[in-house]
Amino acid sequence: ALRERFLRVLGAARGRGCRFSLRSGLTVRGEFAAADRELAALQVDSLRTPLGVEAAALLRGGDVVAFGFVLP
């Protein structure tokens, strides 16, 4: 049941603006696109970092402490 809920959350997050808290203490924003099966990598579009905006990026799952998004 928990796995199913987690997969539903990932599905709901797709295409939405998200905030990612990283292990380094940095918080970045972008549009959640996809995650691999083991959640080892997350694809984020329009990733806004202190150094600029990346059109598409992969975040390592181990570096992401939390991510959040707002549902309508």
Find the mean pLDDT for residues 48-68: 95
Please tell me the predicted confidence (pLDDT) of residue 38. 86
Query: Going by CATH, does the domain composed of 1-67 fall within 2.30.30.100?
Result: yes
Instruction: State the pLDDT at residue 69.
Output: 92
The neighbouring-strand residues paired with 41 are: 60
* Model confidence at 72: pLDDT above 80: no
Q: What is the pLDDT of residues 7-57, one digit of tens each?
A: 898 889 999 999 999 999 999 999 999 999 888 999 999 999 999 999 999
Phi then psi for 8, rounded to 5 degrees? -65, -35
Q: In 3-state terms, what secondary structure has residue 31?
A: strand
pLDDT at 71: 82
